[in-house]
Amino acid sequence: MMKTRLLYRRFSKILTLFLLCLFFSASYSKKYDCEAKVKYDCDASRCDQATENFQHAERFYYDKEQNLITVGMWTYYYEGKATLVMDNKLIFTAIGEVLPVFSVGEPEVHSPTIVSITINESDRNFSALFAYNSQGATIYLGQCAIN
């Protein structure tokens, strides 16, 4: 009888730990906070490189579980659902239309825009295309922190 109780206690503790691990792993969502080191403003004839005075104010965020892209551009914030178009376990690309959702200061209205982000999970490098259309695009290259 005593041996059965000990086995039951041990088993119930192991089962509880197992269920907790399942719960937390299922609720865990990878969130990426990406800071560009370099950006290129491109049009049909050329690309101009910028390497300073934008990193603190232009960021990309991606929540892989919710497929949500958030972009911070100085005092404007955009957000939208994304579609995962490529996922080979280490490198994935998400693309979507982001809408202006928040503005600090200026009441200027910004249009929705298309953004795509490609993240390499092994080295945490990323590239993003922002505001691209038939006239040009802005390309960002940098690193992501995974939260």
Q: What is the pLDDT of residue 12?
A: 40
CATH placement of domain 29-146? 2.40.128
The model carries a pTM of 0.74
Contacts of 46 (CB under 8 A, 6+ apart): none
Domain ranges of the chain: 29-146
The amino acid sitting at 93 is: T
Ranges of the chain whose pLDDT falls below 70: 1-29, 103-109
Alpha-carbon span 21 to 41, nearest angstrom: 45
Alpha-carbon span 43 to 41, nearest angstrom: 7
For residue range 25-43, what is the model confidence (pLDDT) as tens digits?
444 568 999 999 999 999 9
Contact 128, 33 (CB under 8 A): no
Work out the mean pLDDT of the chain and round it to a whole number: 80
DSSP 8-state code for residue 74: T
Alpha-carbon span 47 to 146, nearest angstrom: 30
Q: What is the pLDDT of residue 8?
A: 39
